[in-house]
Amino acid sequence: MKFEDIEVEEVDFEAMLEESFKKSESRSDLITGIVVKIDEKDNLAVVDIGGGRDANLDLDEIKDEEGNVTFKVGDEIEVVNLGRGRVSHKAAKAKAALKEFIEEYDPEQEYIVEGVVTKKNKGGYVVDVDGLEFFMPRTLSYLSSKTDPIGKKVKALIVKVDKEKGSVVISRKELIERERAKTEEIVTKLLEEKEPVVGTVKKITSYGMFVDVGGIDGLVHYSQISHKGPVNPAKYFEEGDEVSVVALDYDKKKRHLSLSIKDATPDPWENIDEIIEVGDTVSVTVSNIEPYGVFVDLGEDLEAFLHVSEISWDKNVKHPKDYLNNGDEINVEVIEIDKENRRLRVSLKNLLPKPMDAFVAEHKVGDVLKGEVTSITDFGAFVKLGQVEGLLHNQEISWDKSKNAKSELNVGDEVEVKIIRLDKEAGKISLSKKALEDSPVAAYAKEHKNGSIVTGTVKDIKDFGVFIQLADNVDALIRTEDLYPLKADELEKGQEVRGVITYIDPENDRIRVSVKRLERQEEKNALEKINQSQDQSMTLGDAFADILKK
């Protein structure tokens, strides 16, 4: 209920109460009657109330908890005449109890009562307080006329007791205004002093928690609990805990007091440089695990983030929960302090032995190992070798250049590879599968050498030269400057070209051919032929006859 909805009427409630008593006093006095009949079939008892008059009493009023009737015919019974031939034993007991309460009432003592609104009349409301009926004038009720108050539980202050009339007047208004004045006094003090005070956690919700400070409740929003940022209060507090808080604001209209726990404690980020430095090793507690990383508590109201990539040297960490659990205490290295954005980043793997160091200590270039394919990309495949991974590039899959990682391998395959490069500093390992097989160029080199005249088929034409195929999986490059007297733009794929091998490297699978040097090589071969010939009658013209024909 909002205070603006309350109707306050300036009326003479005593006159209304007096009128109410006048109308009912003729039938509300206590009467001692005699039970003359008990009719369980109709669930009533007949009571002789004197003057030759009988009245009906609801039998439920004189039954115990087991349903047994507690009076019998001939017993005296206290009742109140309700009129129209009806009496009430319950009302009689209430009236007797009210009379006893009034007689024992101490005007020097303050009485705060809590009851339920049971009736409504022109002057106000009847409130049942543990079976006693008190009168609450409308002007003292602070109840809205927009809603039906019957059944509403109210707390009020006894403001008048009339022993002669047997009446008790209560005021909800007095109690509310007194509590409101007390609240405003406490709030004013809290806001003016801005000093931390100790409160008690009363209720915890998803958006914060309510804290009792000096008898009034204030809300600590979840963003005002910790310097870490928004947190779940249920993870840090329980109902009944004592906490230090500072008042932030008070909304008089809504009577909403905002409190802060974090403002009652020093902000660690103001002196973060004195607390921690990059490179420090600190003990932390795992507080929250997400698929992308882990949040850890450093104490001092500081929280840091451990990215999934900083958990292990293994690059295939699927989920941090496979390595860590909430509540784990671990050592980490501080790798970033962002004071402006209040962000800390830490690393766990930096404190673990580097698998690359151990691998390099045990292996060298040329070693042959078996590993498992962990992933396949457009440029090759990654192969796991113990705790490290190496790259098997497409060009190292096979001597057949049409084959690559995607066409030849699957994730999970076991492959035998040879280490061809090791870069400890960069943490890179280059692998080769084709290095374990005989090179087609090596086989070709057994039959051919520098100076050999060969014939190849044009395979590809580039700006820098022409590639020709000499045999299966054996290609050679004719550089543009070595094509003369041929011209690249006059050649076609599939066309045969003769030339001389000028460079052959079986280990790196490379051959270069020159058309330009072909004529000179043929002349050289012819002279060698003359020198080696046993037929002294051969002339120079004979030796060059075949060349001239070509």
Q: Which residues pair with 456 in a beta bridge?
A: 497
pLDDT (0 to 100) of residue 541? 59
Asked whether residue 186 is domain-assigned, the answer is no
Amino acid letter, 264: A
Per-residue DSSP letter, 265: S
SS3 of 391, please?
strand
- Same domain as 75, residue 161: yes
CB 79 within 8 A of CB 92: yes
- Same domain as 338, residue 283: yes
Residues 6+ apart with CB under 8 A from 203: 209, 210, 239
pTM here is 0.47
Backbone phi and psi for residue 295, each to the nearest 5 degrees, phi listed first: -95, 135
- Same domain as 64, residue 30: yes
Confidence of residue 229 (pLDDT cuts 50, 70, 90): confident
pLDDT (0 to 100) of residue 197? 86
Segments forming the whole domain that contains residue 395 = 355-436
Among the residue ranges 2-6, 13-17, 72-76, 278-282, the one predicted with the least confidence is: 2-6
Give the up-direction half-sphere exposure of residue 542: CA atoms within 13 A in the CB hemisphere.
Answer: 8
Asked whether residue 534 is domain-assigned, the answer is no
Q: For residue 21, with 0-12 CB atoms within 10 Å meaning exposed, 13-18 middle and 19 or more buried, which class applies?
A: middle
Residues 6+ apart with CB under 8 A from 299: none
- Print burial letters for 403-436: b (CB count within 10 Å at least 16), e (below 16): ebbeebbeeeeebebbbbebeeeeeebbbbbbbe
Q: Six-digit token pair at 350?
A: 């930096």
SS3 of 160, please?
strand
Q: What percent of the chain has pLDDT over 90?
A: 47
CA nearest neighbour of 457 among 483, 496, 490: 496
Q: Six-digit token pair at 250?
A: 């008070």
Q: Residue 475 is part of a domain; what is its CATH number?
A: 2.40.50.140
Confidence of residue 206 (pLDDT cuts 50, 70, 90): confident
- Same domain as 385, residue 308: no
Q: Six-digit token pair at 170?
A: 């209560």
- Same domain as 329, residue 275: yes
Look-up: residue for tokens 């206590």?
30
Q: Between 2 and 168, where is the model more confident? A: 168
Q: Six-digit token pair at 200?
A: 């008690």
Q: What DSSP string describes 486-515?
A: S-GGG--TT-EEEEEEEEEETTTTEEEEES
Q: Between 145 and 236, where is the model more confident? A: 236
Say whether pLDDT at 344 is over 70: yes
Q: What DSSP string describes 168-203?
A: EEEEHHHHHHHHHHHHHHHHHHHHHH---EEEEEEE
Confidence of residue 332 (pLDDT cuts 50, 70, 90): very high
Asked whether residue 473 is domain-assigned, the answer is yes
Q: Inter-axis angle of helices 518-532 and 540-549, to 10 degrees? A: 150
Q: Per residue in 457-511, pLDDT tens? A: 999 999 999 999 998 889 999 999 999 999 888 999 999 999 999 999 987 789 9
Asked whether residue 378 is domain-assigned, the answer is yes
CB 332 within 8 A of CB 282: yes
Say whether pLDDT at 11 is over 80: no
Q: Residue 442 is inside which H or E element, if any?
A: helix 440-447
Q: Per residue in 274-316, pLDDT tens? A: 889 999 999 999 989 999 999 999 988 889 999 999 999 887 7
Confidence of residue 535 (pLDDT cuts 50, 70, 90): low
Say whether pLDDT at 7 is over 50: no
Give the helix ranges, DSSP H, for 124-168: none
CA–CA separation, 323 and 302 (whole Å): 23
Q: Six-digit token pair at 257?
A: 């007091």
Rg (CA), the chain: 51
- Same domain as 495, residue 400: no
Asked whether residue 533 is domain-assigned, the answer is no
Q: What DSSP string describes 31-97?
A: EEEEEEEEETTTTEEEEEEETTEEEEEEGGGGB-TTS-B---TT-EEEEEEEETTEEEHHHHHHHHH
- Same domain as 346, residue 480: no
- Same domain as 129, residue 14: yes
CA–CA separation, 220 and 205 (whole Å): 10
pLDDT (0 to 100) of residue 439? 83
End-to-end CA distance of the chain: 114
> In 275-400, where do the E strands start and end?
281-290, 293-299, 302-307, 329-338, 343-347, 368-376, 380-385, 388-393
- Same domain as 259, residue 211: yes
Q: Would residue 175 be called left, alpha or beta, if left means φ above 0 and alpha means ψ between -120 and 50 degrees?
A: alpha
Say whether pLDDT at 536 is over 80: no
Asked whether residue 526 is domain-assigned, the answer is no
Q: For residue 539, with 0-12 CB atoms within 10 Å meaning exposed, 13-18 middle and 19 or more buried, which class applies?
A: exposed
Among the residue ranges 24-33, 351-360, 512-521, the one predicted with the least confidence is: 24-33
Asked whether residue 521 is domain-assigned, the answer is no
* Domain closes at, from 351, 378, 396: 351
Residues 6+ apart with CB under 8 A from 402: none
- Same domain as 301, residue 391: no
CA–CA separation, 539 and 535 (whole Å): 9
Q: For residue 443, with 0-12 CB atoms within 10 Å meaning exposed, 13-18 middle and 19 or more buried, which class applies?
A: middle
Give the up-direction half-sphere exposure of residue 168: CA atoms within 13 A in the CB hemisphere.
Answer: 26
Per-residue DSSP letter, 292: T
* Domain closes at, from 368, 401, 436: 436
Q: Six-digit token pair at 368?
A: 């042959």
Give the alpha-carbon dihedral of 54, 60, 63, 64, to 10 degrees. Answer: -150
Asked whether residue 548 is domain-assigned, the answer is no
- Same domain as 167, residue 58: yes
CA nearest neighbour of 63 among 97, 98, 38: 38
Amino acid letter, 121: N
Domain count, the chain: 5
Say whether pLDDT at 260 is over 80: yes
Residues 6+ apart with CB under 8 A from 267: 227
- Same domain as 371, residue 317: no
Average pLDDT, the chain: 86
* Domain closes at, from 243, 264, 285: 264
Confidence of residue 364 (pLDDT cuts 50, 70, 90): very high
pLDDT (0 to 100) of residue 538? 53
Q: Between 146 and 105, where is the model more confident? A: 105
